[in-house]
Structure 1
């Protein structure tokens, strides 16, 4: 089959500036091509990237995009301009069009709209009814799928399909848990919605020789909270053994941080903004024990006391609860090893090949349904 993947307007592919969605579809595109499918990927032109090139069997086409603006309204306008450029790049004979822009399933030609699958990676905000011609609405987690259904009539619920995000790397090397370092790691955007004040405040109170590493971008152009917010976190950290590394876009280097850390903390407080949590999944694949807030999206792949620990970020004593959770893991090596061993199971359940097969099966069902519907109207 011929699969076209439309990426967003603000981050390039390959993901030189990071981006969980960009990492995911870059990896999945290569996996689809490896299975013998024809794959075209359209994304933002960036720096010296060519306007067209082949990468591992995938044809990449690039058009002018934008740096991420601070205003949400401005973002939607730039997204529209970008999508109008992309529209001319989408092959008319595409069997499936995966869309990662707000407007694609609205402005594509009618034939392609009926073959489009909006990739819903965030909680919808009323826009699902705009996609009434899309053949499927793909959710990356159970909470997102439920939220989509709440915006649609009951008879439209079968169009909603939940397929989780995959790990963005193939077959990582074996992890020696005995060589893990006394490091608590956070990796992700440096933004107020990530609950970083919670983990810094909790860590400062622990009588420990461990180090807290905070990895990620603070720049607003990369989705961060800005330099002033980063400065406030550093002031809060004071003289504690807390390292701010800045952004790490090199996957190999990021994986080294995961491989060395014993505990991965992700205390997100984004009740509506957090919809999957790729960073905790990545960390689990490297044998880090995840400690996460009690957002619903994490329950799809983290089971409390089985392959990670969950604390109540909504509690009045959330800082104390998080501190006790981290301290428990620091002092109980046997528990850390047990949870980390089970966490490694995501290498199979969320591998690129496994998730790619789930997508291909869904694409094949769509093509079969469309063929049956076409015969029925003849």
Structure 2
């Protein structure tokens, strides 16, 4: 489906998937990507939400670089294919709650590169302090470009992160663990 629609093959693209709003930092990603000498594409998947002006600025920033693909809102099988076949998933946010798209990307076995804000870094870092992805200094386009460039060259590192991603995230955020943590919280509130 994604091969026919956008000429995307496995590991041929970097993926951002989320709402196209300023706090997601898509403008950083486009600027950093344009600095890279790569044949990989940058796929920006998501809708404008309530910030049509920002979405227009993203479309303008992507103009002229044939490697950048804006898909619009994605769901269903296309969403699954985009996650499953991405070389790297990038979330360059300045602000997040619990980033569901990051959890989904990890569950699909993506190598994830995120800004180092706590909401993203905490998802990637397990209890022992081991990172299950890569972070860059939020808002720092130079650092983002450097980290992207490193991952584009270090296929072994990307493969290693991908291999452990799904097991890590499904173990950390299993329903049983979430239910137990919720019950513990509620029981503590009774006191």
- TM value normalised by structure 2: 0.83
Aligned partner of residue 281 in structure 1, secondary structure: helix
Residue of structure 1 in register with 2:121 after alignment: 299
**Partner secondary structure for residue 301 of structure 1:** helix
Confirm whether residue 202 of structure 1 aligns to residue 32 of structure 2. yes
Distance 1:306 1:300, change over 3 A: closer
Comparing both chains, which one has the higher relative contact order based on Cα–Cα distances under 8 Å and sequence gaps of 6 or more? Answer: 2
Q: Secondary structure in 2 aligned to 1:219?
A: coil
Q: Deviations over 1:64-123 (max 9, x none)?
A: xxxxxxxxxxxxxxxxxxxxxxxxxxxxxxxxxxxxxxxxxxxxxxxxxxxxxxxxxxxx
Matched with 2:150 is 328
SS at match of 1:181: coil
Greater helix fraction, Structure 1 or Structure 2? 2
Alignment correspondent of 2:175 = 352
Instruction: State the match for 1:235 in structure 2.
Output: 60
**Preserved CA contact (<8 Å) 1:294 1:313:** yes
Aligned to 1:19: none
Q: CA–CA distance in 1 between the matches of 2:185 and 2:137?
A: 36
Are 2:78 and 1:248 equivalent residues in the alignment?
A: no
Cα distance in 2 for partners of 1:332, 1:338 equals 10
CA distance in 2, matches of 1:278, 1:211: 23
Asked whether the equivalents of residues 306 and 342 of structure 1 are also in contact (C-alpha less than 8 Å), the reply is no
CA distance in 2, matches of 1:266, 1:329: 14
Deviation (angstroms), 1:206: 0.8
Task: Output the CA distance in 1 between the equivalents of 2:21 and 2:48.
Answer: 7
1:181 aligns with 2:11: yes
Distance 2:120 2:11 in 1: 25
| Equivalent residues of 1:187, 1:215 under 8 A apart | yes
- After TM superposition, the score normalised by the length of structure 1 is 0.44
Give the number of equivalent residue pairs: 178
SS at match of 2:12: strand
Give the C-alpha shift of residue 239 in structure 1.
Answer: 2.4
CA distance in structure 2 between the aligned counterparts of 1:195 and 1:299, rounded to whole angstroms: 16
Q: Which protein has the larger Cα radius of gyration, Structure 1 or Structure 2?
A: 1
| 1: CA distance, partners of 2:157 / 2:35 | 22
Give the distance between the partners of 2:131 and 2:93, measured in 1 at CA: 20
Q: Is the 8 A contact 1:306 1:339 kept in 2?
A: no
Deviation (angstroms), 1:201: 0.7
Alignment of 1:249-264 (within 5 A): 249-250=75-76, 252-264=77-89
Quote the Cα distance in structure 2 between the aligned partners of 1:291 and 1:259. 16
State the alpha-carbon separation in 2 of the partners of residues 286 and 277 from structure 1.
15
Q: Shift of residue 180 of structure 1?
A: 3.9
Q: Which runs of 5+ in 2 are unaligned?
A: 1-8
Ranges in structure 1 where 5+ consecutive residues have no aligned partner: 1-178, 374-378
Work out which of the residue numbers 124, 143, 161 in structure 2 matches 1:339.
161
Contact map agreement 2:10 2:86 (CA 8 A) in 1: yes
- CA 1:361–1:306 in 2, change beyond 3 Å: closer, same or farther? closer
Offset of 1:341 from its aligned partner?
A: 2.2
